[in-house]
Amino acid sequence: MILKKNISVRKARPKDCEKLSLVIETVIRAIPYYNDLAKDTEVSKFKTVDLKLKIKDDPHSVIIACIDNEITSFCLSRFDDYVIWLEWFGVLETYRGKGIANLLLLELDSTISLRKCHKIWCDCRTSNKASIHILTTHGYKQLTTIANHWYKQDFILWEKLINN
């Protein structure tokens, strides 16, 4: 668990999943650079029951940040053939600019050796300047840009090699 002022970062528990699902939906629906198809499909992947199963399958796959015990942010990952896929990370708009995304990614990094992985990979929209900045800051390297890909939109693929 990482603490900074009144921010706590920890693995999510099943009892967090109902509220977490709402936070995820709120963040995804507010994203200006995703089309409606992307938003609808991505939101449908993270309902309460899905998050509980995700935690059961891999307790390190759902990390949350809380301020005064209220879930404000999340980092969702998946173990995939000895690499970690960083599926999503997001912060409710009210809480942005406080370094929470940084704390989430540091917490994700701390799970890598426990999961016996050597790399994290992810993608982001080519227009997502905030994600591009934080991924670059955290040592992720751009692999390629894929035009007209998921949901008929343009994406950047990223990787971060981990020294175990």
> Is residue 33 within 8 Å of 75, Cβ to Cβ?
no
Torsion angles phi and psi, residue 3, rounded to 5: -120, 135
Name the helix (H) or strand (E) containing 157: strand 155-161
Return the pLDDT at 3.
52
Q: Per-residue pLDDT for the chain (164 aa), expressed as one digit of tens each?
A: 555 568 999 999 999 999 999 999 999 999 999 999 999 999 999 999 999 999 999 999 999 999 999 999 999 999 999 999 999 999 999 999 999 999 999 999 999 989 999 999 999 999 999 999 999 999 999 999 999 999 999 999 999 998 75
Give, in order, the Cα–Cα distances in Å from 162 to each of 14, 76, 91. 29, 18, 25
Single-letter amino acid, residue 54:
K
> Is residue 124 within 8 Å of 86, Cβ to Cβ?
no
Q: Which tokens hold the place of 67? A: 């301020």
Task: Give the separation between CA 51 and CA 31, rounded to whole angstroms.
Answer: 21
Q: In this structure, what is the dihedral angle of CA atoms 25, 31, 37, 41, given to the nearest 10 degrees?
A: -30
Which structural domains are found in the chain, ordered by start? 2-118 (3.40.630.30)
Return the pLDDT at 65.
98
